[in-house]
Amino acid sequence: MRFDILTLFPEIFDSPFRASLFKRAIDRGLIEIGVHNIRDYAAGKHRVTDDVPFGGGGGMILKVEPVDRALQAVVPDRHSSLVILLSPQGEPFTQAAAEELSLSSHIVLICGHYEGVDERVGRHLADRELSIGDYVLSGGEFAALVVVDAVSRLVRGFAGNHETILNDSHSTGLLEGPHYTRPRRYQDWKVPEVLLSGHEKNIRLWRRRESLKRTLERRPDLLTRADLTEEDQIMLGALRDESEG
């Protein structure tokens, strides 16, 4: 899978892809990442990438031509690539969106900067506009990193165990429950007995209950969309009674 990132600040990407699982995945050829400076595609001696907004108002707007020219250079075949503009006005980037994106072989991420991006970039050059959350970043670079990270780890072989990825928070529509490792006891803090019992069925039920409990407490909004079995509904009913009683 290949990612190409179009940015005015390519140096932001210098270190993140040289560390940890990214480095390993790149070395193994599982993912390729290209970073391109939009300024290299700007016209004129001064390579201007931004301009004042039509109609007045403050701030500078990223121009459409350099972005278009950069895209022409990095996208060999428009039909096999997915072009994404990162912006706070985009549709929410969720785990479901990450899973969808992981089916593409080539993703191009356009990082907006300054106070805005010429509307024609989102409307005519990008296939999708994504936001990583309801807050405003100073540019799309960190959003692009978030997207590359969340999508890459779904590529088979990227992370150690693909099975655990399928059980991640959000993959199942619920938050994950707690995890513990050695020691069994630290200070006064003990590991729940059931996890030490070796009783597989009880462990599975406990984990599911904790996952439902945590979701109910922290993100009840997720429960309306989660895929719940009859057993889940019963556990959830009991958890609701407990929290009310």
Instruction: Give me the helices (H) in 45-140, please.
Output: 64-74, 95-101, 119-120
Between residues 66 and 112, which has the closer beta carbon with respect to ligand ADE?
112
Nearest distance from C-beta of residue 5 to ligand ADE, angstroms: 13
Binding mask 143-182 for ligand ADE (x = CB under 6 A): x---------------------------------------
8 binds ligand ADE (CB under 6 A): no
Q: How far is the CB of 172 from ligand ADE (least distance, A)?
A: 25
Q: Is residue 133 involved in binding ligand ADE (CB under 6 A)? A: yes
Contact between 107 and ligand ADE by CB under 6 A: the answer reads no
Contacts of 72 (CB under 8 A, 6+ apart): none
Instruction: Give the burial class of 2: count Cβ atoms within 10 A of its Cβ; 0-12 exposed, 13-18 middle, 19 or more buried.
Output: middle
Pairing of strands 185-186, 189-190: antiparallel
Contact with ligand ADE (CB under 6 A) among 20, 79, 135, 156: 135
Question: Smaller CB distance to ligand ADE: residue 86 or 212?
Answer: 86
CA-atom Rg of the chain in angstroms: 22
Q: Measured from the CB atom, is 135 or 189 closer to ligand ADE?
A: 135
Contact between 215 and ligand ADE by CB under 6 A: the answer reads no
Is 163 annotated in the active site? no
Which residues fall within 8 angstroms of residue 87, CB to CB, at 6 or more apart?
112, 117, 122, 129, 130, 131, 140
- Strand ranges (E), 148-243: 185-186, 189-190
Q: Is 115 a catalytic residue?
A: yes
Of 47-55, 136-144, 210-218, 222-230, the segment contacting ligand ADE by CB under 6 A is 136-144
For residue 126, the minimal CB distance to ligand ADE (Å) is 12
> Do 128 and 182 contact (CB within 8 A), yes or no?
no
Smallest separation, CB 111 to ligand ADE (Å): 8
Please choose, from the candidates 93, 95, 94, the residue with its C-alpha nearest in 3D space to the C-alpha of residue 168.
95
- 88 assigned to active site: yes
Active-site residue (options: 99, 127, 149, 168): 168
What whole-number distance in Å separates Cα of residue 121 and Cα of residue 68?
Answer: 8
Please state, in angstroms and rounded to a whole number, the distance separating the CA atoms of residues 126 and 134.
21
Largest CA distance in the chain: 72
User: Per the structure block, which two tokens stand in for 38?
Assistant: 């939009």
Q: Are 226 and 173 in contact (CB under 8 A)?
A: yes
The question of whether 217 is a catalytic residue gets the answer no
Residue 86 binds to ligand ADE (criterion: CB under 6 A): yes
Contact between 88 and ligand ADE per CB under 6 A: yes
Active site residues: 88, 115, 153, 168
- Which residues contact ligand ADE (rule: CB under 6 A)? 86-88, 112, 131-133, 135-137, 140, 143
